[in-house]
Structure 1
């Protein structure tokens, strides 16, 4: 099957019921997307399909079709995407395990709502679990990324 991953079409041989997470990690070599719970409850495996956040651990690769897949690696080759910059500036990361999923969810939120309120952020991020409890810094980073995005225009 052909998959459009981060702007490059790749030929991948995978069983149709294989979760997208394992296709990305094991077959495409993109290990930024993490396995957390395997039940779509924690958000560590969040990627975008045509700009919409999805849980890759429960999305069979056969469900992707021609949609464009974007992973954390596809945000920026140099780590300078505004959300990544904001994450570093707000010092969000502690253990870091959940952060690729957190960042992908935040990017989708900001693409949909460029100037989110605290309530918007809390609602969008509510499905992403951070065992370290960095939620206040996540919210701060999303507001900062929103400002960085506005400054870049």
Structure 2
């Protein structure tokens, strides 16, 4: 197991079963045989989370061309995801995790600082999972949303593009 609270490179990706904006449930097994970019973000329609979702959506055709799906996860309810998707014309799949099942399994729900105050919440993080369900890259704490999708695409290109 990793020396940090999230799955690291070479660890099996934790399973999940979460609803999308339309209530359809998606699980890790649904992506068997494909790459999966699984990213966790704090809240729909906030500035950093919007930037990240818009950038992943803009690059989605390039991810798909490399055999990868892109899925975002937050605590927001499906109705919130629907509004977020419609408002920003997002093309990435967003899943709802109000019970913190996947957020906890991936170590994305933990202590953090917000405006200098200690609290517990969603830490922006991303996992690049290979077609066999193994984590190949882990960004356990994404410092800046802007440009992160490009970083993940570069890693995927390196791993899957050859």
Q: Same fold (TM over 0.5)?
A: no
TM-score norm. by structure 1 comes to 0.27
The structure, 1 or 2, with the larger RCO (C-alpha pairs under 8 Å, 6+ apart) is 2
The structure with the greater share of residues assigned to strand is 2
TM-score norm. by structure 2 comes to 0.26
The structure with the greater share of residues assigned to helix is 1
